[in-house]
Amino acid sequence: MAQTLGIYIHIPFCVRKCRYCDFLSAPSDEETRQRYTDSLVREIRSWADVPGLPRVDTVFIGGGTPSVMDGKLLARIMEAVRETFRVREDAEISMEMNPGACEDSVYDFISGYLNRVSIGLQSSVGGELRFLGRIHSKDDFLRTYRRVRRCGLRNVNIDLMSGIPWQTVATWRDTLNFAAGVGPEHISAYSLIVEEGTEFGRMKARGQLTLPDEETEREMYYTTLERLNFFGFSRYEISNYARPGFECRHNVRYWVRKPYLGFGLGAASFYGHRRWRNTGDLERYLGVDFGADPGNWIPAAEEITPLSRQDEMEEFMFLGLRMMRGVSGERFQDAFGVSLESVYRNPLKRLERDGLISRGAGNVRLTARGIDVSNRVLAEFLLDDKEAPPSQGGIAKM
């Protein structure tokens, strides 16, 4: 199968930063959003003359909250993508949106350009939403969801969050039942991670944050599996559930290491055995002259990391094991010219003996126990330099 390319577009603006959020986002005014769109379009178009780019089969507009933008600005961005890249007719084109942050023009954009949206609900419980710093209510979510459906979309994800301060198993079950009951095709159910630099991080440092204990978190975890299975969702990645055929193709791209280009403030890319990330400084990004050096297609990048063969083997395992189907021995052999067994014989034996992975049909998968201690499992796939054997079939393929 011919290689394809994904595109990620970062919109770093929001109405108000949530208390748990450590993403690159902040409030903005109309002039800033206009200037940012101008820079984003220039960055995208700077790739017009890059030779040999594969066809694009996924586009994901994330943030921040992309739906705070005027729909006409979002349309300009997508037109730049269409004019610069060869976008397949059946491409998955997604956008994140939040209830309470959508003007009429955004729905016009959705109708004209998208075939998938991801709506950030997080919780159906009013007190939990307010404590998270969300700007919407359960009813706001319902209005947004229904209007998206009226736009003709038949692929909708709902984002949910467990482990919220003072959340109980009962309120989490209520949220799961509510979200699944409205009939989305996909649900992402993440556990809160309190990050340094966030308001929650500062509250935790002061002893002002009461989080569910370990036993409650574990019960929430199994409640997620039971409730979403009941509603017909299958788990295909550690935190993601879908009805058959509605797995998020763009996110799967990350986990199976297919190439993607990221555009915008702080956006990450993976292409040509390199990873890089754009500057996170807004004024610097707005000042980049994307046409100054036609031979430099990443002038906004601050971190450029060439990947060694060993790096790519480790990534293959770390990312691929997030998927319920696991990692493919055949794909590993094809990518690196050596067998998975020859590189990871000892870790595979240890983890299988301990009941943390299973092997069958050429794949290696995490077991239920392995998912519970996934950080420990993934650490087993770090290689010493001497452990990565020389290639027998060329460099790793993208």
Q: Is residue 84 domain-shared with residue 197, that is, in the same domain?
A: yes
Going by the DSSP 8-state scheme, the letter that residue 396 receives in this structure is P
**Domain end among 254, 288, 317:** 254
Q: Is residue 161 part of a domain?
A: yes
Kindly give, in sequence order, each residue whose CB lies less than 8 Å from that of residue 243, ignoring residues fewer than 6 positions away: 185, 186, 232, 233, 234
Kindly give, in sequence order, each residue whose CB lies less than 8 Å from that of residue 267, ignoring residues fewer than 6 positions away: 8, 9, 10, 277, 278
Q: Is residue 234 domain-shared with residue 367, that is, in the same domain?
A: no
pLDDT at residue 291, rounded to an integer: 83
d(CA 397, CA 69): 37
Enter the tokens of residue 270.
């993976």
Which residue is listed with tokens 């370990």?
214
Q: Is residue 136 domain-shared with residue 221, that is, in the same domain?
A: yes
Q: Tens place of pLDDT for every residue, the chain, 398 residues?
A: 579 999 999 999 988 777 777 777 777 899 999 999 999 999 999 999 999 999 999 999 999 899 999 999 999 999 999 999 999 999 999 999 999 778 899 999 999 999 999 999 999 999 999 988 889 899 999 999 999 999 999 999 999 999 999 999 999 999 999 999 999 999 999 999 888 888 888 988 999 898 999 999 999 999 999 999 999 999 999 999 999 999 999 999 999 999 999 999 999 999 999 999 999 999 999 999 998 787 788 999 998 999 999 999 999 999 999 999 999 999 999 999 999 999 999 999 999 999 999 998 889 999 999 998 998 999 999 997 545 544 433 323 33
Q: Is residue 21 part of a domain?
A: yes
Listed in sequence order, the DSSP H helices in 243-391 are 249-255, 282-287, 309-320, 329-336, 340-353, 368-372, 374-379
Stretch (H or E) spanning 79: helix 71-84
Q: What is the DSSP string of 299-327?
A: TTEEEEEEPPHHHHHHHHHHHHTTBTT-E
Report cis status (omega within 30 of 0) of the bond before 64. Answer: yes
Q: Is residue 195 domain-shared with residue 92, that is, in the same domain?
A: yes
User: Domain containing 39 — which CATH number?
Assistant: 3.20.20.70
User: Domain containing 326 — which CATH number?
Assistant: 1.10.10.920
Q: Is residue 106 part of a domain?
A: yes
Q: Is residue 38 part of a domain?
A: yes
pLDDT at residue 386, rounded to an integer: 42
The number of distinct structural domains making up the chain is 2
Q: Is residue 18 part of a domain?
A: yes
Q: Is residue 272 part of a domain?
A: no
Query: pTM score, two decimals?
Result: 0.92
Q: What is the CA radius of gyration of the chain?
A: 22
d(CA 158, CA 148): 12
Q: Is residue 224 domain-shared with residue 324, that is, in the same domain?
A: no
Q: Is residue 223 domain-shared with residue 338, that is, in the same domain?
A: no
Cβ burial of 42 (10 Å; 0-12, 13-18, 19+) is middle
Q: Is residue 291 part of a domain?
A: no
Range(s) of the domain holding residue 163: 4-254
- Pick from 138, 68, 76: nearest CA to 96: 68
Q: Is residue 101 domain-shared with residue 195, that is, in the same domain?
A: yes
Q: CA-CA distances (angstroms) from residue 364 to 238, 242, 316?
A: 15, 21, 12
pLDDT at residue 292, rounded to an integer: 78
Q: Is residue 178 part of a domain?
A: yes
